[in-house]
Structure 1
Amino acid sequence: MAAMGGWLLFAPASLIRSITAHPVKSAVANAQPSLRIDIELRKVLPVPFLGPRVVSASPADLMLNHSIFVPPVRPATAAERLELARLQAAQLEAERKKSIMLAPFRHASQAFFGMFVAIKRTWTREGFLKLKAKKRTLLLDITGGWALDEGRALDRICKVQPN
């Protein structure tokens, strides 16, 4: 029981809240500015006057276990794309035509399904990318959120090295 409690209690300790890149001026007058990456971590305890922890690293110190950007699969021909668009429009229209009296039950079903997916992700740590920064492993949620240029910017800055 203690191990399971520790698994849940210490989970937010390494979750990334945001990643910011800052140029740093060089000491030499005409040198190129270097880049510093600030990784802001989530709070473990909600203490109001205690700020979030920030890990600063250079891009050379960062390593991802796989790429963030995954190119979407596009249909090969224009006819296939048109047929796919028609299917999506038909599904949307069918959803709109469903009874308004059943809408609360559909929404409750979606909420319960989302809750069980969140519980599964809590226990299995599914949907997180491992980012190693200064010999420390941090977790980045890749199922939600926003990434500049669909994650290509972070892929270019960090080394991608599969396990």
Structure 2
Amino acid sequence: MAQAESSAATPFETDFWKDAKLRKVWDDIVPGEPRKTLPYKLTQEAIALYCRAVGETNPLYLDEAAAKAGPYGGLIAPPAIHILLMFACTPADDWMRSPGTVNAGQSWSYNIPARPGDTITLQARALDKFIKRERLFVVHDNVFFNQHGDVICSGRGQTIRPM
């Protein structure tokens, strides 16, 4: 069992400094320019790992029999899995991955649940960047889609960038 857990965790990098030198810096962020993104196949194993990491125990996410009897007719992912998807759908050089980036606020809308087996794509861009009180801010938006082109969730937020 430990071996299966180990191999399941492999796709999710935990050394956030590993590729730090590859990441775009303030001057490289161009408002309006689409960010490079990667498709990601969401697995039940990834959902279970996420649930375990955040202490989520809802049977709609973890128990196939209970989920089939539930309102969605099968297993779904927790809405906040978009956090995992943000990193799974972006390459190592993406500016959102920079160590030292601070979430300065966000607002998300959830349309339909992501499900195991979905191939998730992300459309993302910086909308604006500005300096306030000697801090570097970026306003950004993100939209996650499933393989059918349906919007799973969309959000807008601000981050404070490292100097």
Structure ranking higher in helix proportion: 1
Structure ranking higher in strand proportion: 2
TM-score by length of 1: 0.24
**Higher-Rg member (1/2):** 1
